[in-house]
Every structure is written in C-alpha cells, then in structure tokens.
Structure 1
Amino acid sequence: MTEPLVSAKMITYNHAPYIVQAIEGVLQQKTNFPFELVIGEDCSTDGTRAIVLEYQRKYSDIIRVITSDNNVGAYENIRRTSKACRGRYVAFCDGDDFWHDPSKLQKQTDYLETHPECGLVYSSYDVYHPKSNKTIKDFIRYRNWEMPKNPCLLDFIEGKSGIGLGVLTCTVMLRRHLYEEVKTSDPYLHLSGHFRMGDTQLWAELSTKTQFHYIAESLATHIITEESATRSKDVKKRLQFSISRAEMILYLCNKYNLTGSYRKRYENDWSNYSLRLAFHLRDKELANKVRIRKKSFTGKEWFRYFGAKYLVIHYTYRTVAFLFSLFRKKNSQWL
C-alpha cells in the first residue's frame, strides 16, 4: 500500500443503512495524491461488519478495517482507529454521514499544503432527513450563520455564530500531528470517555494552538438519524448528554481560567438538566446533589426537586407537563 498523504478516518457501529454511501463517498474522491480509508468497526450486529470487510477485500490498496472479536466501545474504537492512521492529514467521516463532493479531499489538502499556519479546515454541509426524505442544502448558509474567520476558544464556549454546529466532524480535515498532540496532552478530556461528546472539546482546544479555515461550500452531507451519539429518543440519554456537555464546558472553563457569565451559564445548564434527570429517574441522591450545588430554585425546579423524592408530586407534575406538551410546537436545530 502506497504511503498516503491523507487518512480518511471512519468510525462505524450499526450503520448498515448508510455505510455503503459513506465508503463510496471516500472512494469517489479525485486527488493527485494517495489517500487511505481507515474504518473502525466495533462488532456491529446489523451486518455493517460484513459490508466493510467486503469493501476491504475489493479495495485492499485503499481500505483498512480496524476491528476485534468483541465490542470495545466508542472511545476505544476511536483511539485505535486514530492510531492506525498514517497520513500527514486526517479527514473525518463517520459511517452515517458521507462526502458528496468528489473534490473535498483535494480542496482541503491544497489549502493545508499552501498555508502552514493553518491546522484545520472545515466546510459547509447538507443535512439529510431520512424520515421525510428532505435535504437542506448548504446548511450554514441556510441558517445564515456567519462563521468566524479564525474561531477561538470563547467561540466554542459561547456557541457563537453557530460555531458549535458549524464545525461539523464530517467536514473537517486537520494535521495529524496536532490531532495527536492535543489528544495526548489531556487524556482525561479527550481519551477517558468521561464526556459523551468527543469532537467539541477537540476543536475547542485546537483553536488555542492553530488557525482554522472555513471553506464556504457544501462538501459533505450530515444524516439526521434517530439514534446517534448526540441524538436519541430516550429522554434519559438526551439529558445525560446535555449534562455531560455542561460538565465538559465547565472543565474547559477551569482549565483556561474562564470566569463570570460563561461559568454561570453552564452551571445553570448542569443544574437544570441534572434536576430534570433526577425527576425523570426519581433519583433522590442526584436531586440533593443539585440542591447543594444550586442555592436557589424557581417554582418549576422545586416541583422537580420534590417530584424526584415523592411519588404523588412526581405524577402530578408529569400529568400537567404532558397536557402542556400537547400544545407545544416542536423545534429542531436541524430544520
């Protein structure tokens, strides 16, 4: 296998409906340099593994599959797949997204090769909703987000100008040495699995070390699946993800000595989501933990606090909340 200039890193688990399109999106890339596709397959139960192994057999000069006899979990799968990448640059595409532009790798590599001061490039993207078969083209332009010319740590902390959703993983290419440097510099933040998201903190810390460049073209498609690392029908999973995000931002605030409104906002987020989870699970211990950490409650928060402790209050509140939900319009950040 020729030494690649770019490694396309693909993490997959139970992506059978989407994995072929993801792989084909990489194979269709037209470049003047060699690239590889490294697929981290974590013992899927839906046929994904057989699909990726067949692609490896057909394209053994490009594709390498990293797998094992047992499921190792998301963080270990990411770690071992990242370690297997050999290119100077790493481009990301999970098994439920795809690159629709065959010149994506060439455009991003050309920029990094001619701009040594830049460590990460990303682009706009399309958003596809399988349930409605609807595609929103050029999502960043569609949402009228103005991406910062060179985002800094505070942009990620604040979620400024759509940057939190703007730097989407399937659009990113970065220098591998920076990727490895940042991840190994803080194993708790990036490698421990303590936080439920894996990329937001990576982009945030990279912004303190290098310049970013935004390509104002849609080069990839993000698929809105019902279940993913960041989305779920399960209320418990959604709340746990939101709590973890607040904890991660607070960790960054501590690490970089950020105080004031930033910390207060995410302390409030942590309390809000934790109290909602305590109510949902009727977890008295978590409710007490929130009570100790947050000195004052609103009326709604008192109901959730006592609802976590007392059955009658719990079901009364849930009944009232359900009735209100019948008249509430549902919104999505992806629409």
Structure 2
Amino acid sequence: MKKEPLVSIICTVFNKEAWLCQTINSFLAQETTFPIEILVIDDASTDNSRHIIERYVKQYPNMIRAIYNEENQGIAKTWVKVCQYAQGKYIARCDGDDFWIDPLKLEKQVTLLQNTPHSKWCNTDFDMYNEHGQLISRAGFSSGTISLADTYEKMLATRGFTMASTWLVERDLMLHVNSMLDLETSDDTFNLQLDLFQYTDLTYLSEATVGYVINQGSDSRPKDFSKVEQRFNRLLDTQKEYLDKYPNGNKRVMLDILLERNNRYELELTKREYGLAKIGIEKVTIYFSNDTGEFSQENTVQYPLAKRDDITIKLPKGCTKIRVDLSEQASFYAYVRLVSCLSGTTILPSFINGVVIGEAYMFPQADPQLIYDIPKEFGDELILHYMAYSVDNIQSDDYVAKVLSQEIFELKMKLKELERLRIQVQQQKDIIEHYRKQKIVKRLYHGVGKLLKKMINVFRRKK
C-alpha cells in the first residue's frame, strides 16, 4: 500500500524548457527517510515544457503528478490552484528555473521544523547562478549579497527576500495564507511572506541548499523601464495595503529601517555626483618596500585622487621599490610620470597591470597598479605627476572615449599611409626585378652570340 507523502514538492512552470530537467532531477535526487510527492503545474507554456513534464510523469508515475493550465493564469492563480492537490503535511516550493543542490535539503528542513515547535515555516541559504548555469555567488544570505528579511517589519519596509525556492511550510498554513492572496498581485511571494509572518516565525537554515537562477528574461526583471516602473508602483500599493491590513506592526522598527536605507541611498547618490572617476573619493595609495622588497598596508601613504596632481614622495630609508595604486577602480590617464628630483630622470615602471598607449596609461580593470624600481642614484625624493582623462563629460575634449577614438583614427590613417608606401615599395621592387631580368636576358643573348662566333671560327679553321 502506498504511503501518504510527508512532503509535497510543488514546482510552477511557465516556459522553463531550458532549466526544467535540471530542476526535476534535483527533486528526484532527494534522499529522505519519509515519502515525498512531486507536483508540477504548467501554466500553458508555449515552449517544450509540457512535453518534458509528460515524459517525467510517464517515467515516474508513482512520484510525479502533473497539472496543466490550458490558458495562462499567471503565477498567483497557478500557485493557489496547485497547492490544493498537495497531500503532504509540508509543502516545499521551487520555481521551474531554480534547482536544489543539497540531496538532504528536505531531510534537514523537516528535522529543523520538528525541532522548532513554534515555527511552521523555514528557509535556507542559496547559491546564485546566471541563466547559463554559471555560478555567480555562494551563500547569498550569509555573504551579504542579498539581505534576509526574517521579520514582517523588514519584509514590508524593504520588499525583502526569503528565497521562495528554499521554503518548507506546513500545508494547512500555506492553504490558509493562499486563501487571502490577491490573485492580481505583481509578486505572489511578497504577499505570501507578509501574511506568513503574521502566523509563524521563520526558521532559517544557514546552509545553501538551492541554486537560484537569475533569469534576465523573467517577469521580476523586465527590460522595459515602463514595466519596471509599473511593477514597483504595484509593490508600493501592496506595502500601503498591508500597513492597513496589519495595523499592529511595529512602525518604529520599520521607520528605523527606512531611515537607515534612505541615508545609505543619499550617500550613494552623493558619490555619483563625484562622477564615475570618483575624483575626491578614491585614493592614490603609494606602497614602500621593506628591507626584503615586499609591500604591506602598514608602510603606505595616501592622497585623494585628483583630476590632475603632482605628488612629492619621500622614500623611507632602505626603500628601493614603490608601488602606486591609482585608485581602486578602472581608470584612465593622459600621462603618469615618476620623476627623480635629484637627476630629473623620468623613471619607467618595471610592472604595470594596464595598457600604455604613447604617454597614456589605460587601466580597464579594477585596482590599477604600477611598480617602480628606484636605484639609489635617483635619490630619495620623487615627484609623481598624473592627469586623469574625463570619464563623465562626453562633451569634454579629454573624454576618454573621444581621446581613444582619435588615437584609433590616427593609427588607422598611419596604417593606410604605411600600406600605400608598402605598395609603392613593392612596385619599385617589381620594376627593378623586371629590368634585372631583362639585363640577364641581354647578357645571355650576347653570350650566345659570342659562342656562335667562336663555333664558326672553329669550323673555318678546320677548312
């Protein structure tokens, strides 16, 4: 006799053909001490998703059940519908493009909830992947890549995130919360989370059990700005609705969260006023070598990054090498010169992690560095001269793209001139070769004539 499942895995699908096999296989790979079932609902996909689901149902008829919407219903209606079919005590959610990376995910979460009687809902950490399956970031919550909204106040104030594909929720609670869901909402998980927090604490497992796929074509990441604006405005409406729906929420906590966020945003906006180059924010850091020729953070001096500057550098005793970090981000300079005050000599770098074009120094990657060897003949006082290209003002004459475009244009013109000269030289060579061959033929002709005369003379003598 078939045992009732303890956990119902629910997977919602709409045009997830590219990821669906990986997703379902990750369910099948779960190792549990209890029975499970897999419910997959297809919301009228227009790709091959339905055929993939049918193939898995045929292969695993006792484990996988499928539900098909003949017309697209949207995620909220689809979620509410499929949950009605769940038979387990718990519902585990996973979207059709995410996948589970820990075969013990369900076992760990069931144990966690059984050992936490006050909680009926748990989630876990997760790893992040792009839509091509490449790992972007490990442990999204623990690393701080994304903040975990583990209270109602955080969720409402920040439109937070608990990673729905990691959820395990008691079925009865999920059905109750589903009954309150606005079926026209722009993000079903936002509403669901806000309501879940009213009935239970969220218990968090700090292990990554899910691969979260950041799909740039998904509904939550529209490329059209008008759709982004529409989505944000609808989320704002939801936030306002829930302020009235649950008036006993701790508004002071929410206000503190919003004030701190506003302060961070103000700081970020202020930084942007300094431009992409972050003139005045970034630092020029000069490292001095120790007796063994190594660099350390303890032996440095710093200066604010300027558009143009002349920095006097006094070498510590025994220093024979310096490293210059021109900010911590990609940057571009019309010139960078290190000059000995004693001899007036311009010292060339022994190492650079950028590209030199004439006098210009280009650092397309972060953390631009130059290392200079300083023989004692150059003395212990140097001057670092530099001037940064503009990366913000497209109208300025030293806008880096404009300068590089001009450089490329001039190089192309020089290449054309060189090609013209090469053709002329080749033509001259061809002419010379032509005359050289003619001269050889003429010599051969004269040589043959002389030989014939000699032969005739020989015959004459024989007579």
Report if TM-score (shorter chain) is over 0.5. Answer: yes
Show structure 1 runs of 5+ residues with no match: 270-322, 328-335
1:132/1:104 Cα in 2 relative to 1: closer, same or farther (>3 Å)? closer
Q: Is the 8 A contact 2:10 2:94 kept in 1?
A: yes
Q: Is the 8 A contact 1:22 1:98 kept in 2?
A: yes
The code of the aligned residue for 2:86 comes to C
Report SS of the residue matched to 1:199.
helix
2:159 corresponds to 1:174: no
C-alpha distance in 1, partners of 2:131/2:70? 31
Moved over 6 A (4+): none
Q: Is the 8 A contact 2:77 2:183 kept in 1?
A: no
After superposition, the C-alpha distances for 1:221-243 in whole angstroms (9 at most, x for unaligned) are 11011122311112222111111
Output the TM-score relative to the length of structure 1.
Answer: 0.71
The alpha carbon displacement at 1:152 in A equals 2.9
Q: Match for residue 388 of structure 2?
A: none
Q: Is the 8 A contact 1:8 1:35 kept in 2?
A: yes
C-alpha distance in 2, partners of 1:147/1:191? 24
C-alpha distance in 2, partners of 1:132/1:11? 20
Report SS of the residue matched to 1:17.
helix
Aligned positions of 1:155-304 closer than 5 A: 155-159=154-158, 164-165=160-161, 167-184=162-179, 186=180, 190-193=181-184, 195-257=185-247
Q: Is the 8 A contact 2:41 2:66 kept in 1?
A: yes
The code of the aligned residue for 2:174 comes to Y
Which has a greater percent of helix?
A: 1
1:2/1:60 Cα in 2 relative to 1: closer, same or farther (>3 Å)? farther
Q: Match for residue 87 of structure 1?
A: 88
The number of residue pairs the alignment matches comes to 260
After superposition, the C-alpha distances for 1:19-52 in whole angstroms (9 at most, x for unaligned) are 0111011110000000011011012111000001
The alpha carbon displacement at 1:69 in A equals 2.9
Percent identity of equivalent pairs: 26
After superposition, the C-alpha distances for 1:238-273 in whole angstroms (9 at most, x for unaligned) are 1111111111111101112266875xx7xxx9xxxx
After superposition, the C-alpha distances for 1:3-22 in whole angstroms (9 at most, x for unaligned) are 11000110000000000111
1:245/1:234 Cα in 2 relative to 1: closer, same or farther (>3 Å)? same
1:211/1:52 Cα in 2 relative to 1: closer, same or farther (>3 Å)? same
The code of the aligned residue for 1:183 comes to N
After superposition, the C-alpha distances for 1:150-188 in whole angstroms (9 at most, x for unaligned) are x332121223xxx813x100111111111111222x3xx
Report SS of the residue matched to 2:45.
coil
1:249/1:54 Cα in 2 relative to 1: closer, same or farther (>3 Å)? same
The code of the aligned residue for 1:200 comes to F
Q: Which one has more relative contact order, counting CA pairs under 8 Å at least 6 apart?
A: 1
The alpha carbon displacement at 1:132 in A equals 8.4
Q: Is the 8 A contact 1:197 1:229 kept in 2?
A: no
Q: Match for residue 153 of structure 1?
A: 152
The alpha carbon displacement at 1:131 in A equals 5.1
C-alpha distance in 1, partners of 2:60/2:216? 31
Aligned positions of 1:48-127 closer than 5 A: 48-127=49-128
Show structure 2 runs of 5+ residues with no match: 263-393, 401-463
Q: Is the 8 A contact 1:152 1:208 kept in 2?
A: no
The code of the aligned residue for 2:53 comes to V
Q: Is the 8 A contact 2:166 2:210 kept in 1?
A: yes
Report SS of the residue matched to 2:223.
coil
After superposition, the C-alpha distances for 1:40-73 in whole angstroms (9 at most, x for unaligned) are 1012111000001110110111110111333333
1:65/1:192 Cα in 2 relative to 1: closer, same or farther (>3 Å)? same
C-alpha distance in 2, partners of 1:131/1:247? 34
Report SS of the residue matched to 1:110.
helix
Report SS of the residue matched to 1:221.
strand
1:147/1:80 Cα in 2 relative to 1: closer, same or farther (>3 Å)? closer
Larger Rg, first or second structure (1 or 2):
2
Q: Is the 8 A contact 2:126 2:207 kept in 1?
A: yes
Aligned positions of 1:126-145 closer than 5 A: 126-130=127-131, 133-143=134-144
Q: Is the 8 A contact 2:53 2:66 kept in 1?
A: yes
Report SS of the residue matched to 1:215.
strand
Which has a greater percent of strand?
A: 2
Over aligned residues, Cα RMSD in angstroms?
2.8
Report SS of the residue matched to 2:123.
strand
Q: Match for residue 318 of structure 1?
A: none
C-alpha distance in 1, partners of 2:72/2:195? 29
The alpha carbon displacement at 1:206 in A equals 1.3
After superposition, the C-alpha distances for 1:269-291 in whole angstroms (9 at most, x for unaligned) are 9xxxxxxxxxxxxxxxxxxxxxx
Q: Match for residue 21 of structure 1?
A: 22
Report SS of the residue matched to 2:69.
coil
Q: Is the 8 A contact 1:147 1:214 kept in 2?
A: no
